[in-house]
Amino acid sequence: MRKGNGKSEVTNLDLEHELPQGEGGEQPVAAAKPEAVEARVLPEIESLRAERDALLDRLARLQAEFDNARKRAVREQQEFREYAAADVIRNILPILDSFERALKTAGAESSDFRNGIELIYRQFQDALQKIGVQAIPAIGQVFDPRVHEAIEMVDTTEVEDHHVLDELQRGYKYRDRLLRPAMVRVARNTKG
């Protein structure tokens, strides 16, 4: 801009701020007829609405997918903890077996020793029970291959057929998971 003539300054200023002409020599938007503007803008608005709806739908799906992934991770973490606990408990069970054998063989002459072993045994069982370990009932029960492991079939008429006569090693469950089956002798009653 030059100094001096004030008229040329206004003209240059107006030219700089004037809206450019549209493609194909169309008039600027400000000078177009309202019907023509509406005809051009409505499809664009519809296009933008469709794009917005698609993005909102995608956002909802991603949020649901994220929520499902979070829930799956929590469930897998819980299953891993239970699996790890079951492994630890499996390693402890032979100690419990040793206590049971000691209680079966301890004589009456060492009643203080026996009482001490019984106390430790009960505490051990209580601790396992608090974390969800349960002994599987065996003696007198109908043989169930899901929780019992038959070591021997014994011919007898004293017990019904396919009932557990004797438990050689106790079986255990951790919550609903089998840690180990009970090792049992099963009756075979030929009179049935």
- Quick one: pLDDT at residue 151? 93
Per the confidence metrics, is the pTM higher than 0.75? no
Q: What is the pLDDT of residues 22-39, one digit of tens each?
A: 555 555 545 557 777 777
Q: Provide the pLDDT confidence category of residue 136 given band limits of 50, 70 and 90.
A: very high
- Determine contact, residues 186/154, Cβ cutoff 8 Å: yes
Using CA atoms of 106, 109, 115, 120 in order, give the dihedral in degrees to the nearest 10: -40
Integer angstrom CA distances of residue 128 from 58, 95, 114, 131, 165:
49, 12, 21, 5, 26
More confident residue, 114 or 5: 114
Domain limits, the chain: 134-192
Q: What is the pLDDT of residues 10-23, one digit of tens each?
A: 444 555 555 555 55
Give the residue-averaged pLDDT of 155-159. Answer: 86
Residue 30 tokens read as 């400000």
Pick the range with the lowest mean pLDDT from 2-6, 28-32, 158-162: 2-6
More confident residue, 84 or 139: 139
The correct CATH number of 134-192 out of 3.30.450.40, 2.30.22.10, 2.40.50.140, 3.40.630.30 is 2.30.22.10
